[in-house]
Each structure stands twice: as C-alpha cells, then as structure tokens.
C-alpha cells in the first residue's frame, strides 16, 4: 500500500482518488475549493458518474484544502483550460510542481501540451494521461484498455503503472505519452467527421448511413466504435484536444491537413444541421453533448441552437435550468406544445420510446429532425410526422 496524494477534486481527480482507494491505497485528495471539500467530507458528490458515489462511500479518503506533502506519489489532476488562442493555461500545474516534495513521484494526469513534462525540473515526473469517458470513468479507470506511463526514469514509470494492478501498460518517455493522449482524441474526431460527411453524401446519393457503417464496422481494421453520425462532436476533450494538437503541429511547421479538415467539418456539420431546421417555434430534444451526462461543455446542441432564428425550447432528462436563452421544460409533451419542429440532438435512450401520436397532436406541424438516428422511423411516420433523418435520403430509414 502506498500513500498517494491527488491534487484536484474535479471529474478526473475524484475518479482517480476513489479508484486508487478502491485498489487498496491510502489516498489524500486536495482541492482549493473549500466548499467542495466540505461537501466531499459529507460524501456529497456533484458529478453524475456511475459508481463514483458508491466508491467514495466505501473507502476512507481524506479530503483537504492543504497541499499533501507527505506522499509517495502525487497525481496532478488540475484543470488546464484553453486560453484565448487555444493555448493551455498551466498555472495550476506549475503551482503543484512548485510545492511537491523532492522524494515524491510527480504523476501528470492533467492533459498538458506536448513537451510540458520535459520542461519540469522535478524528478521523477511521470506522464500518465487519462482516457476516461464521461459516464464510464470508474469502469475505464479500473479496467483500462491500457495505462500509458512515460518518464525519463523508467523505474518510476513502472512503479506508477503498478499502482493500477494487473493492466496492459505502455511504457515510454514523457513526450510520447503526452502525444498519445492527443493522438487518440484527434483520431476519434477524424473518424467522426469522416462519418458525418459520409452521412451527408448518403442523403444526396440515396444510400443509407446505417448500412454503410455496418459494412465498415465489420472490417476489423476500421473497428466498430465511433461510427455513429450526429450533430457534430463535442464535450470537454475532443474540441479542446484537436485544437491543441493543431497548435502544436503549426508551431512545428507540420501541416496536419486531416485534423484541420476534421475540425472544419465539425463546424460545417453544426451549420448544416441548423439549416435543416425550419420553423419559428423549435423544440430541441437533448442539450448535453452526449447521453448519460449533464455536461454541456462544447455541446453541439448549444452551438446549433445559437444559429437558429426563432423561439427555441428544449427538453433534456439531465438539465432543468434555462440556458443560453433556451427555455428548458420538464417533459417532451410540454416541449411539443405548439411547436413547428422537434429536433433530436442527444442520443438519450428514452427518445426512442416517446409517445409519438401524443407529441404529433400537440404540434402545429409534426416535423421531426433526427440527428442521432435514434427514433423508430416507422412509428414516427405512422404518427403523422414528416421525418428528416441525418444520413438517410428524404428521411427514409
């Protein structure tokens, strides 16, 4: 058992603290936000993350606002927000580096620009990027597809990997580890933009995106995941990390054309979806960037809403407050009242099972735009809707 410090009690820090405690380590978790630390001491968690509250309840974790000096390993899980020009603000990381004790292994989990660890004087520093998906963070931490540990001190990197138990490990140097994180999220973004353009092409040539991606996903070289078209990709990582990698490439005079195109395609997708939405009174089904989270950061739904002229309301099972001038209502039926068009923007499973005839009755003109391919097309049409479905010619489905 090791004494481990975690700095930052956000989504990554809390998951890290809870899971390391679950793996049998003695964990102290520090955050500068006193009110948050007080709540955590009372076992109150603000995050919607399956399994997290249970782990925090099961294990004794010390929550504190005091910097944890007496630790063998110190995990840095502080935010590195993008500044005005897309560059990461590393103030919080440098604050930690300035305080860490000499014989502590510093573990950088925060996503930092390629080359950051190399510029940190503290030894050993191990780069250990996180690959946690919101809504699956605990599962991703405890059963990772791989743990990446990079350091000039390979022994320190091995010791960090061992904290996770018996897991697949990629052992490398700091800079390679930092780049792996950006490479993964950027590759996913490229894959999604590719599929979103294919969906647009399907609508034009009369092909069906579900059939096309089924034919693609059975090819193991392509892989089955991240082939669902949507309103564009968003969230706290993909937009930020793609921009950061483009900045790194530009600084090195490397022309990363595929990635630039993926980002441009995503902007195009948002505009294209907004143009599909006709009507003065618009109802949005879903606001979060994906299902299973209450996170609205860089949500394509909000980007699309900003482009709409007309009166915009929304229903989202995870959101109860008005946002960005959008009135948020409590039920899909309320949303349908007097609307010209409904638009599915998040793939919440409950949207597949709405009472379509009841919704159609409440609308002025029953039109449904489905950007996620989640509604049962035949039932929706039977209920009297005109269905416009991304990737399906004339809404055929």
Indicate the annotated binding residues for NAD(+): 31, 36, 80, 111, 134, 240, 297
Per DSSP, 293 falls in state -
Least distance between ligand UDX and beta carbon 155 (Å): 27
Query: C-alpha distances in angstroms, 2 versus 36, 304, 305?
Result: 25, 48, 49
Q: Is 227 in the site for ligand UDX (CB under 6 A)?
A: yes
Q: Which of residues 168-187 bind ligand UDX (CB under 6 A)?
A: 185
Question: Which residues on neighbouring strands pair with residue 104, listed in sequence order?
Answer: none
Among 86, 131, 154, 175, binds ligand UDX (CB under 6 A): 131
* In the complex, least distance from residue 256 CB atom to ligand UDX, rounded to whole angstroms: 19
Q: Give counts: helices (H), strands (E), the chain.
A: 14, 14
Verify binding: residue 243, ligand UDX, rule CB under 6 A.
Answer: no
Cite the DSSP H helix spans in the chain. Answer: 11-22, 34-41, 52-58, 91-99, 137-142, 154-162, 174-205, 209-217, 238-251, 257-276, 300-307, 332-336, 356-362, 377-382
289 binds ligand UDX (CB under 6 A): yes
309: Cβ contacts below 8 Å, ≥ 6 apart: none
19 or 359: CB nearest ligand UDX: 19
Give the contacts of 109 (CB within 8 A, at least 6 positions apart). Answer: 12, 13, 16, 75, 76, 77, 128, 129, 130
Region from 170-178, 202-210, 232-240, 271-279 binding ligand UDX, contact rule CB under 6 A: 232-240
Residues 6+ apart with CB under 8 A from 325: 312
By CB under 6 A, tell whether 16 contacts ligand UDX. no
Q: Does 234 bind ligand UDX (CB under 6 A)?
A: yes
Residue 199 is a binding residue for ligand UDX (CB under 6 A): no
User: Does 228 participate in binding ligand UDX (rule CB under 6 A)?
Assistant: yes
- In the residue annotation, 237 being an active-site residue is answered as yes
CA distance 171 to 169: 6
Q: Is 134 in the site for ligand UDX (CB under 6 A)?
A: yes
Please report how close the Cβ of residue 195 comes to ligand UDX at its closest, in angstroms.
7
Which residue ranges make up the site for ligand UDX (CB under 6 A)?
130-134, 185, 192, 226-228, 230, 233-238, 289-290
Q: What residues act catalytically?
A: 237
């Amino acid at each position: 058992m090791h004494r481990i410090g975690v700095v930052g009690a956000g989504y990554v820090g809390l998951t890290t603290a809870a899971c390391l405690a679950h793996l049998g380590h003695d964990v102290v978790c520090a955050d500068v936000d006193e009110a948050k630390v007080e709540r955590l001491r009372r076992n109150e968690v603000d995050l919607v993350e399956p399994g997290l509250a249970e782990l925090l309840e099961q294990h004794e974790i010390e929550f504190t606002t005091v910097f944890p000096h007496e630790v063998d390993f110190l995990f840095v899980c502080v935010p590195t927000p993008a500044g005005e020009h897309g560059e990461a603000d590393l103030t919080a990381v440098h604050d930690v580096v300035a305080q860490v004790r000499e014989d502590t292994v510093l573990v950088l989990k925060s996503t930092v620009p390629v080359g950051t660890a190399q510029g940190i004087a503290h030894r050993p520093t191990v780069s250990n990027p996180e690959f946690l998906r919101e809504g699956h963070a605990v599962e991703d931490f405890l059963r990772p597809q791989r743990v990446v540990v990079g350091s000039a001190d390979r022994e320190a990197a091995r010791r960090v990997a061992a904290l996770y138990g018996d897991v697949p490990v990629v052992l490398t140097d700091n800079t390679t580890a930092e780049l792996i994180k950006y490479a993964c999220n950027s590759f996913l973004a490229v894959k999604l933009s590719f599929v979103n353009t294919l969906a647009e092409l399907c609508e034009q040539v009369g092909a069906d995106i579900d059939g096309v991606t089924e034919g693609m996903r059975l090819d193991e070289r392509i892989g089955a995941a991240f082939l669902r078209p949507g309103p564009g990709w968003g969230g706290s990582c993909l937009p930020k990390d793609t921009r950061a990698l483009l900045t790194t490439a530009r600084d090195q005079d490397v022309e990363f054309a595929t990635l630039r195109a993926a980002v441009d395609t995503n902007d195009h997708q948002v505009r294209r979806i907004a143009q599909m939405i006709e009507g003065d009174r618009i109802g949005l089904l879903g606001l979060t960037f994906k299902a299973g989270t209450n996170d609205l950061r860089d949500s394509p739904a909000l980007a699309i809403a900003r482009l709409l002229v007309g009166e915009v309301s929304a229903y989202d099972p995870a959101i109860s407050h008005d946002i960005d001038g959008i009135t948020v209502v409590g039920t899909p039926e309320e949303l349908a009242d007097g609307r010209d068009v409904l638009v599915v923007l998040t793939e919440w499973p409950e949207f597949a099972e709405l009472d379509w005839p009841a919704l159609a009755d409440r609308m002025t003109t029953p039109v449904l735009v489905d950007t996620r391919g989640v509604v049962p097309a035949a039932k929706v049409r039977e209920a009297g809707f005109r269905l416009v479905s991304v990737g399906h010619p004339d809404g055929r489905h």
